[in-house]
Amino acid sequence: MMMHFKAITYSLLAILLISSTPAATAQNSLFLRDSPLASLAGAELDTLLNEINATLDTAEINTPVFWQTTDMRLTSIWTVTEDYQKRGLSCRKMNLETTSKGETSLSSYGFCKVDGNWLFDLE
């Protein structure tokens, strides 16, 4: 019974996040906070999140995808490394290797698909 309640709670939270576009965008960009990609804002951030979503939808495991800002100040290579299931959701792990001003950072994140959108896996 407790697991069922927990599943309903998570489903309601996911619906709430999806129904509020600013909340979903804020939640989805949480993973950027410790990355050089955190410097992106406005249209560049929207483009980045759209491209990450497309990559999560279509990329084959261990096939790098190259991305850069229009002014080439940031470049990033994204690689989906694993598919997994979590609470009945389809999820994927992705490595992001980002270079800015000659320095490269490497991070790995999980994303789960909720109602057609990839959301940052907080756990």
Distance in Å from the first CA to the final CA of the chain: 22
In angstroms, the CA 32 to CA 30 distance is: 5
Among the listed residues 95, 112, 105, 28, the one whose alpha carbon sits nearest the alpha carbon of residue 61: 95
pLDDT for 118 beyond 60: yes
The string of pLDDT tens digits covering residues 20-72 is 333 343 444 455 656 667 677 788 888 888 898 999 999 999 999 999 999 99
> pLDDT above 70 covers what percent of the chain?
69
